[in-house]
Structure 1
Amino acid sequence: MDLKLYYKPECPFCKKVLRFMEKNDIELELKNIHDQENKEFLIEKGGMNQVPCLFIDGKAMYESDDIIEFLKEKFNK
């Protein structure tokens, strides 16, 4: 399964997801949208300029609580 988390360091909802990942030793590929290429990909493929956004095999999932729930189920945390 290909998982990539698009985030912005100052976003409180991104911080919530990142804290959960750190607390539960979950490592994913992280994509900071301050990098213009990452931001353009997020808008083009996800349809919105909203973070956090977890791409699951190329499909976008938004909302920090939904992402955390997915990670809990996927990694049995």
Structure 2
Amino acid sequence: MVRQSCGSCGRVAGQIAPVVKLCDASLALVDVDADPDLAAEFGDRVPVVLIDGEEFACWEVDNAELAAELMGGK
């Protein structure tokens, strides 16, 4: 979950993209401001990383933990 005006969102997306690719997963950036329900749910709590619809991390992501979660889920 991201927002266009969020500098951290771009940073985190760039940080985790190689990990996601290495784990043969897919990365989808969803702009919370494009959907009023998402905007209400996430507010200023972006970036948020969801894995299979479940919140994995908010604001900061540990690449090793992300890789372990993505690899464990396969």
TM-score over 0.5 (shorter chain): yes
1:15 corresponds to: 10
Whether 2:29 is the aligned partner of 1:33: answer no
Number of residue equivalences: 65
| TM-score, normalization by structure 1 | 0.55
Larger radius of gyration between Structure 1 and Structure 2: 2
| Higher strand proportion (structure 1 or 2) | 1
> Cα RMSD over matched residues?
2.7
> Using a 3 Å threshold, how does the CA distance of structure 1 residues 65 and 55 change in structure 2: closer, same or farther?
closer
How far does residue 58 in structure 1 lie from its aligned partner after superposition?
2.1
Q: Distance in 2 between matches of 1:41 and 1:21?
A: 22
**Same amino acid, percent of matched pairs:** 20
Structure 1: state its 5+ residue gaps: 1-5
